[in-house]
């Protein structure tokens, strides 16, 4: 579905991603892991088109269709081909209602005139009764649900989540985990999440890519995330 080869990225003169390779196969759930500041969000923003890359390739391919060079598409066009994105800051429109937020997302990711998918409220039933409330009136948890709903209303083939558990309580994290597992296993959605909470990663993901200072130092099955590997790459220097 998505193949990254030798991706390099810079912030000014700072080399932030170093020859990163990543393969996302259809129906997989992959977690990019690593300590804060190691390049997880940078990699996500390169894939979604919000950051340019210096070199390398990103090829998108769906079954029965020719490959597409993702680098030729602006961020909004990557959404239109089926890439849903939930950023850390949610990027919802706080002064618009839930329904209006979803309508805007729908128009951005679909053909003009497409009707709202009513089944989005089957995934987020709490939002249905509040659909005429402004996003600013929602609790933190419900704002996060709205951000998820905005990404899913376009029926993405690939859903990307950046630090999805950040700032959330344990009860909602458990609920979020249930949703991700359902999307992946029941609906067959391919999922990529940038995350550092290992218990959550082990629960929802089947593959991992471990970043350290912008380099992919390990990839594989989540079962390979053992203590020696984690102690080498996931322990802050001050604690070693």
Assess whether 173 and 125 both reside in one domain. Answer: no
pLDDT given for residue 15 in this prediction: 97
**Helix/strand number for the chain, H first, E second:** 9, 10
| Shared-domain flag, residues 134 and 26 | no
Tens digits of residue pLDDT in 172-193: 999 999 999 999 999 999 999 9
- Regarding whether 73 and 188 lie in a shared domain, the answer is yes
Q: Are residues 44 and 144 in the same domain?
A: no
**Is the pLDDT at 56 greater than 60, yes or no?**
yes
Q: How many separate domains does the chain show? A: 2
For helices 98-109 and 140-152, angle between their N-to-C axes, nearest 10 degrees: 30
* Rounded (5°) CA angle 114-116-117: 110
127 with 171, same domain: the answer is no
Q: Are 67 and 8 contained in the same domain?
A: yes
Question: Does residue 15 sit within a domain?
Answer: yes
**21: in domain:** yes
* Whether residue 175 is found in the same domain as residue 225: yes
Residue-number span of the structural domain to which 197 is assigned: 2-82+156-239
Q: Are residues 105 and 199 in the same domain?
A: no
Residue 77 shares a structural domain with residue 97: no
pLDDT for position 114? 41
- The CA distance from 158 to 190, in Å, is 5
What SS3 state is found at 124?
Answer: coil
**104 and 166 part of one domain:** no
Q: pTM score, two decimals?
A: 0.91
Average pLDDT over residues 208-231: 94
Bridge partners, 60 (sequence order)? 2, 68
d(CA 32, CA 38): 10
């Amino acid at each position: 579905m998505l193949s990254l080869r030798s991706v390099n990225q810079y912030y000014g003169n700072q080399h932030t991603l170093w020859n990163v390779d990543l393969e996302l196969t259809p129906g997989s759930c992959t977690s990019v892991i690593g300590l804060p500041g190691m390049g997880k969000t940078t990699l996500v923003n390169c894939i979604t088109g919000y950051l340019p890359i210096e070199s390398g390739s990103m090829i998108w391919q769906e079954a029965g269709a020719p490959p597409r060079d993702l680098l030729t598409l602006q961020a909004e066009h990557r959404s239109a081909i089926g890439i849903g994105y939930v950023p850390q800051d949610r990027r919802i429109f706080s002064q618009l209602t839930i329904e209006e937020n979803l309508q805007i997302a729908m128009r951005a990711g679909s053909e003009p005139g497409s009707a709202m998918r009513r089944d989005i409220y089957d995934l987020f039933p709490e939002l249905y009764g509040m659909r005429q409330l402004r996003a600013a009136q929602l609790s933190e948890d419900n704002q996060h649900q709205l951000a998820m709903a905005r990404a899913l209303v376009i029926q993405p083939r690939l859903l990307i989540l950046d630090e999805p558990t950040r700032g959330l309580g344990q009860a909602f994290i458990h609920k979020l985990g249930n949703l991700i597992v359902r999307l992946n296993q029941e609906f067959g959605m391919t999922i990529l999440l940038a995350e550092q909470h290992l218990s959550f990663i082990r629960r929802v993901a089947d593959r991992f890519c471990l970043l350290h200072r912008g380099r992919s130092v390990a990839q594989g099955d989540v079962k390979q995330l053992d203590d020696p590997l984690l102690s080498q790459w996931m322990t802050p220097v001050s604690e070693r």
